[in-house]
Amino acid sequence: MHYLIAALYFLLALIGSDGWGDRTIITRTSADGAEVLYSQTRVVAGIAHFACIASVSGSCHYELFPRDCTMASPAAPCPADLVTHFALPSGTSRDVTDLPTGFRFCVSHDARPETPDCMPARNPQASASSR
């Protein structure tokens, strides 16, 4: 019986091999065949690790928003308030903790102000009210 339980735990471990709540986002942008931005973000156990691998401007500019705006209902428009923003020089990284569940972010090679509009399928009412 203990072999059956051990096999069950092994199978469950295989199914969840990537870890609970882990995600990796790689952002690569190019213009006219040249790489403009290369960034990697990994979220593990509530800690977000932002790495600016390359940027044509020399820095990656990050803006973090409170939640997943694609999940917003028309009655609850997506907030445009920033959680935080920062810039990382190319080749550096930074860990950020205490982020809200479901946070989203935008990353750019330039320092222009962003809104959650960089997220696809954003609530149209929220877009109109944030301008």
DSSP 80: -
| 10 within a domain of the structure (yes/no) | no
Q: What is the pLDDT of residue 23?
A: 86
Q: What is the pLDDT of residue 59?
A: 94
| 4 within a domain of the structure (yes/no) | no
| 3 within a domain of the structure (yes/no) | no
Report angle CA 116, 44, 19 to the nearest 5 degrees. Answer: 120
The CB-side HSE value for 42 (13 A sphere, CA atoms) comes to 7
Does the pLDDT of residue 72 top 60, yes or no?
A: no
Domain that residue 53 falls in = 15-129
Q: Two tokens at 92?
A: 């550096």
Does the pLDDT of residue 88 top 60, yes or no?
A: yes
| 92 within a domain of the structure (yes/no) | yes
94-120 pLDDT, tens digit per residue, is 999 988 887 888 899 988 656 656 654
Distance CA 24, CA 26 (A): 7
Q: What is the pLDDT of residue 126?
A: 36
Distance CA 97, CA 130 (A): 27
Task: Enter the pTM of the model.
Answer: 0.66
Q: Which helix (H) or strand (E) holds 11?
A: helix 2-15
Distance CA 30, CA 13 (A): 38
Q: Which helix (H) or strand (E) holds 104?
A: strand 104-108
Structural domain count of the chain: 1
| 63 within a domain of the structure (yes/no) | yes
Distance CA 27, CA 15 (A): 27
